[in-house]
Amino acid sequence: MIIPCIDLMDGKVVQLVQGREKALEGDSPEEMLRKFSAFPQIQVIDLDAAMGRGSNDELVRFLAGKAVTRVGGGVRSVRRARALLDQGAIRVIVGTSAFSQNGINEAFLSELRLAIGPQHVVIAVDSKDGRIVVKGWQAATQLRAEDVLQSLEPYCSGFLCTYVDKEGMMQGTDLDWFRRLRAATSLELTAAGGITTLEEIRALGEMGVNAALGMAIYTGRLKLEDLSRLH
């Protein structure tokens, strides 16, 4: 499955490089929905909520009310997760809060599982320089993604794994890393970070891995009509 991404910041659709530098602004949310209407699901990330500087709740509600969405950004409490589901999201994406200084934040994940059910949870396992990174990719843990997926399985229905080293850089991704992740879990796996070509998307598909696409779509490197034929 191909999953187009809508990242929100300051009330606008944006794309960042490495989670830091804003590279471009997209069309209006309404126009992005129109462009992505051929795809079965859209990924929405509230970057302001993720960075702890407000939220784009009205836009999230609008998008989730018009499309099948998985939504993330600032899911640090059961209350926030429930709010996103109430706004219309079918699943919530949990990143930083899934981890603690010492490993997996089992207390929070257990609370979340009990409150909304693992079927509504996607855990973001993002990696840079071989280690899982959190807090907007600004802080590194000592954990390796392939080592923790199995331990996280009871708390979710799938994983969003971003290869941060290439995120937004249009330089291709690391297919070998995704092969290792695929071997580590039987749950749904969605790849993100640097995916630039139809060949990479096909290779991921052959592994049974979804492709979440952002920069390559927004810059026109990948054409929506070509992508719609693949999914």
What is the set of active-site residues?
A: 7, 126
Cα(227)–Cα(209) distance, integer angstroms: 15
Q: State the number of CA atoms in the 13 A half-sphere of 227 facing the CB.
A: 28
- Give the list of residues 6+ apart from residue 187 with CB closer than 8 angstroms, or none: 149, 153, 156, 157, 158, 159
In the chain, % helix, strand, coil (3-state, to 5) comes to 40, 25, 35
AA letter at 159: F
AA letter at 137: W
Q: Quick one: which H or E segment has residue 7?
A: strand 2-9
Using alpha carbons, select from 112, 130, 25, 22 the residue that is nearest to residue 72: 112
Cα(31)–Cα(34) distance, integer angstroms: 5
61 contacts 206 by C-beta, under 8 angstroms: no
Q: State the number of CA atoms in the 13 A half-sphere of 54 facing the CB.
A: 8
Both tokens of residue 100?
Answer: 């603690």
